[in-house]
C-alpha cells in the first residue's frame, strides 16, 4: 500500500488496539470523533512561522512546557519578556503549572505572531492532575491572563471548567485582545464579585458572546464585560433571577453593532 486518505478512514488499529488519535508531529490530523479539549493541557498553537511565545516579564510565576507531553521544561521568567519557544504554523506547546494564581496587572503570555489557545485552563493550577478539577484555589486566578494579547485569534476550544467562581477570577482575562474572534464557553452557575468584569473589553473582532447561565449574580460580576466590542452583533440571554449591585454596569457600552437588547 502506497498511502491512503485519512479523511475516508473510520477506524485505525495498532495490532488489535484501536487508535483514537493520529498526530503529525504535534498536529492532530485524525481522531475517532470530537476532540475532548477538557482532557488536554493548556495549549498554544501558532498560526504563523517563526512565532516566539513568551512570558511578559520577570515577576510572573514559573510554568512547565512541552511539545510532546512527555518531556517537560521548567520556565522561570528572568527577563522582559522571556521567550520560551519558537513555533511554526500548526505547531503547539503544552503548558502546566502548580500556582494558585496568575494574576498580574498585565498579560502573562505574549507572542510575536498570531496564535490560538485551547485545552483545559486548570493545567496551570493543578499540573498533571488537572482533569475533572472544578475548584479555583484563590481569587483573581486568571485575571488579565491574555490582557492585550492582540495576536490571539481564537479561544473557542479553551475550557474553563470551574462551576463555582472566585472573586475576580477571569477579570480582564481577554481585555484588549482586538483580534479575538471566538470566545470560550462560560459554564459556571455560581459566580462571585468581579468574576467576569472586563473579561472581553476591547475585543473589537468578537461577533458573538458566550452564554451566561448563572442564576445568582454578585456585585460587578458582568461590569464592562463586553465594553467596546464594536463587532458584537449577538448578545447572550441574561436569565439570572437574583441580582446584586452593579452586576450589569456598562456591560455592553460601546457595542456599536449590537441592535437587539438581551432578554
Q: Looking at residues 52-80, what average pLDDT do you find? A: 93
- pLDDT at residue 231, as a whole number: 97
pLDDT > 70? residue 158? yes
Burial class (CB in 10 A: 0-12, 13-18, 19+), 134: exposed
- pLDDT at residue 14, as a whole number: 74
Q: Looking at residues 111-127, what average pLDDT do you find? A: 97
- Residue 143 in contact with residue 103, Cβ under 8 Å? yes
Q: Looking at residues 102-117, what average pLDDT do you find? A: 91
Q: Looking at residues 196-220, what average pLDDT do you find? A: 95
- Residue 170 in contact with residue 201, Cβ under 8 Å? no
Confidence band (pLDDT; 50, 70, 90) for 202?
Answer: very high
- pLDDT at residue 262, as a whole number: 78
Q: Looking at residues 51-69, what average pLDDT do you find? A: 94
- pLDDT at residue 1, as a whole number: 47
- pLDDT at residue 119, as a whole number: 97
- pLDDT at residue 32, as a whole number: 65
Amino acid at each position: 500500500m502506497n498511502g491512503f486518505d485519512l479523511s475516508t478512514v473510520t477506524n485505525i488499529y495498532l495490532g488489535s488496539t484501536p487508535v483514537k488519535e493520529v498526530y503529525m508531529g504535534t498536529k492532530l490530523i485524525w481522531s475517532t470523533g470530537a476532540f475532548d479539549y477538557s482532557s488536554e493541557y493548556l495549549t498554544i498553537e501558532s498560526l504563523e512561522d517563526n512565532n516566539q511565545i513568551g512570558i511578559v516579564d520577570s515577576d510572573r510565576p514559573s510554568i512547565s512546557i512541552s511539545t510532546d507531553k512527555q518531556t517537560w521544561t521548567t520556565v522561570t521568567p528572568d527577563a522582559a519578556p522571556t521567550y520560551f519557544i519558537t513555533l511554526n504554523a500548526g505547531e503547539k506547546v503544552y503548558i502546566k503549572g502548580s500556582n494558585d494564581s496568575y494574576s498580574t496587572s498585565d498579560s502573562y503570555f505574549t507572542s510575536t505572531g498570531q496564535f490560538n489557545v485551547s485545552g483545559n485552563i486548570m493545567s496551570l493550577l493543578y499540573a498533571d492532575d488537572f482533569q475533572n478539577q472544578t475548584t479555583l484555589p484563590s481569587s483573581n486566578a486568571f485575571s488579565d491572563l491574555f490582557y492585550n494579547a492582540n495576536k490571539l485569534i481564537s479561544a473557542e476550544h479553551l475550557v474553563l471548567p470551574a462551576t463555582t467562581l472566585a472573586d475576580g477570577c477571569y477579570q480582564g482575562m481577554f481585555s484588549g485582545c482586538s483580534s479575538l474572534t471566538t470566545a470560550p464557553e462560560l459554564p459556571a452557575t455560581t459566580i462571585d464579585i468581579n468574576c467576569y468584569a472586563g473579561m472581553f473589553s476591547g475585543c473589537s473582532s468578537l461577533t458573538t458572546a458566550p452564554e451566561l447561565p448563572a442564576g445568582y449574580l454578585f456585585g460587578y460580576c458582568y461590569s464592562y464585560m463586553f465594553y467596546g466590542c464594536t463587532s458584537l452583533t449577538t448578545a447572550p440571554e441574561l436569565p439570572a433571577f437574583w441580582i446584586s449591585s452593579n452586576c450589569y454596569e456598562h456591560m455592553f457600552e460601546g457595542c456599536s453593532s449590537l441592535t437587539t437588547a438581551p432578554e
